[in-house]
Structure 1
Amino acid sequence: MKVFVIGIGLIGGSFAIDIKAAFNEAVIYGVDKSEEHLDKAISLGLIDKKSNLEELDIADVVITAIPVDVTVKLLPEILDKINDECLVFDVGSTKEKLCQSVSEHPKRRNYLAAHPIAGTEFSGPQAAIANLYRGKTNIICEVEKTAFKLQEKGMEIFTRLGMRIRYMDPASHDKHIAYVSHLSHISSFMLGKTVIEKEKNERDIFDMAGSGFASTVRLAKSSPEMWAPIFKHNKANVIETLNEYIANLIQFKELMEEDNFVEIYKEMEDTNHIKAILKGIS
């Protein structure tokens, strides 16, 4: 099985590691705009060969793990180059614009719109880790538009990597993911910004910040190259979530100003229910 991974970073590199482990016959071809990334991926054993888009005609599987703004432009070109039996899937955090970009493409049947809910705050080939996807949810959109034989090929990969599958339409995916993923990244970036602007002494930040602060701003270490395009693609949904979040922050501030700590306690107590919902998620 010839697997082409376009974008050898955390996500693409982790797919490469796990597919090599799960499929003995797999040969991993790496495609990346950074020659340094490709060299690093070779040295780490993530990929077997360097490649380019012109060789996609020999691919059995193509995984695009690049920023969504690049994917939406490149996806039609990828479909132009592949053979009829090749499966192409992406891992982008937005789905509606990607699905629209190939809706009329002659090889739309070769594309599977996927979003594995997995990752860390780190980036680059050196961030790739084994078993990143084990036990994680993979959201599949518009599965009915992918050829059944190629659906099966994708599901075999996802199953062997230990993923749970959930199906969703692209618009619903983008709306829900704005709340549970995109908003948390914005909150983390802006908390980090607030602290950096206020605490000019970096040593004070390091010495005084506890584990709560560290875990809350962890996502602020994420790649802007990846996240700025996500916010752009999902702008309407992200703005809606921000309006609701800001309204809650303003309400909390007003309760503080009114010395209404009974209501503040109740707000926090009610929100503690999130512990039961998220039990078991690391």
Structure 2
Amino acid sequence: MKNIYIIGVGLIGGSLAIDIKKNNPEAIIHGISRKQATLDEALSLNLIDKKATLDDIENADLVIISIPVDATVKLLPSILDKISDSGLVVDAGSTKVDICKVVENHPKRRNFLAMHPIAGTEHSGPSAAIPNLFIGKTNIVCEVEKTTFKLQEKALKLFGDIGMRIRYMNPEAHDKHIAYMSHLSHISSFMLGKTVIEKEKNERDIFDMAGSGFASTVRLAKSSPEMWTPIFKQNKENVIETLKEYIDNLNQFKELMEKDDFEEVYNEMKNTNHIKQILNGIA
């Protein structure tokens, strides 16, 4: 895959560009963006070799779409219209049901591979791109059977070579599970940040007391609203379900404290400590 086009040269797209280029120095990385300033920055950071437009996609061996999921849904069919019979289009969206559905009957559906590399930071834009972001990270691939075997084989090797573990899942299961493992944590972080900011209006010293625990918990509140609002919209039903369960647990914890039942407060936290073993198994 020599001619690689990346639509959205930010954290994920830019980091993919770095690692793909490192493993495939002969590859030519083309950047596509609505904003020329983004492409200029990507060029200055050596994330891409050339600027490109959507009309150039007919020359692509591989197109990587790394833009907000609502934009992906709108753009994906026209990108598949332009791709050659030997080219492949992949996306890196955090939701998969709507993205897969919009091209389910497209005549070039076999040229599309739906995936979600579960990696990233709270930062965005070309300057957020970093090398080795994907080492040891999971890449969820959906509906792999709908992609031409030779194309999926090339893509999975490409992403495996930069360190990603491949896992297969249907779009519905992906969106349900990711609501718990990613989307809920972002909402929690945003709302914790909101709560503290509102309190800080009256108590100016509150941020002087912020330690590493607060910083790590609220870190995700620095994430891009432009990216996350469409994710919540596309995965609305699953996110609402997870929020309901989360709020129920918060209310239960609050009630235990109101009853001075700190033995049960202890038990709740002790039982939850089991997550250490679970996360150690993932790491």
Aligned pair count? 282
The whole-number CA distance in structure 2 between the counterparts of 1:45 and 1:95 is: 30
SS in 1 for 2:89: strand
CA contact (8 A) 2:13 2:66 kept: yes
* Contiguous gaps of at least 5 residues in structure 2: none
Query: Using a 3 Å threshold, how does the CA distance of structure 1 residues 127 and 263 change in structure 2: closer, same or farther?
Result: same
Q: Deviations over 1:115-139 (max 9, x none)?
A: 0000000000000000101110000
Where does residue 61 of structure 1 map in the other structure?
A: 62
CA deviation after TM superposition for structure 1 residue 279, in Å: 1.4
The one-letter amino acid paired with 2:87 is C
The whole-number CA distance in structure 1 between the counterparts of 2:97 and 2:129 is: 27
The one-letter amino acid paired with 1:81 is K
* Contiguous gaps of at least 5 residues in structure 1: none
Q: How does 1:88-167 map to 2 (within 5 A)?
A: 88-167=89-168
Where does residue 5 of structure 2 map in the other structure?
A: 4
CA deviation after TM superposition for structure 1 residue 25, in Å: 1.2
Runs of 4+ in 1 over 4 A off after TM superposition: none
Q: Deviations over 1:172-223 (max 9, x none)?
A: 0000000000000000000000000011278624310011000000000000
The whole-number CA distance in structure 1 between the counterparts of 2:145 and 2:4 is: 23
Where does residue 241 of structure 2 map in the other structure?
A: 240
CA contact (8 A) 1:183 1:241 kept: yes
SS in 1 for 2:67: coil
Cα RMSD for the two superposed structures: 1.1
The whole-number CA distance in structure 2 between the counterparts of 1:230 and 1:246 is: 20
- Per the normalisation by structure 1, the TM-score is 0.98
SS in 2 for 1:139: strand
The whole-number CA distance in structure 2 between the counterparts of 1:247 and 1:45 is: 48
The whole-number CA distance in structure 2 between the counterparts of 1:138 and 1:9 is: 18
The whole-number CA distance in structure 1 between the counterparts of 2:129 and 2:138 is: 18
CA contact (8 A) 2:189 2:220 kept: yes
The one-letter amino acid paired with 1:117 is I
The one-letter amino acid paired with 1:178 is A
- Per the normalisation by structure 2, the TM-score is 0.98
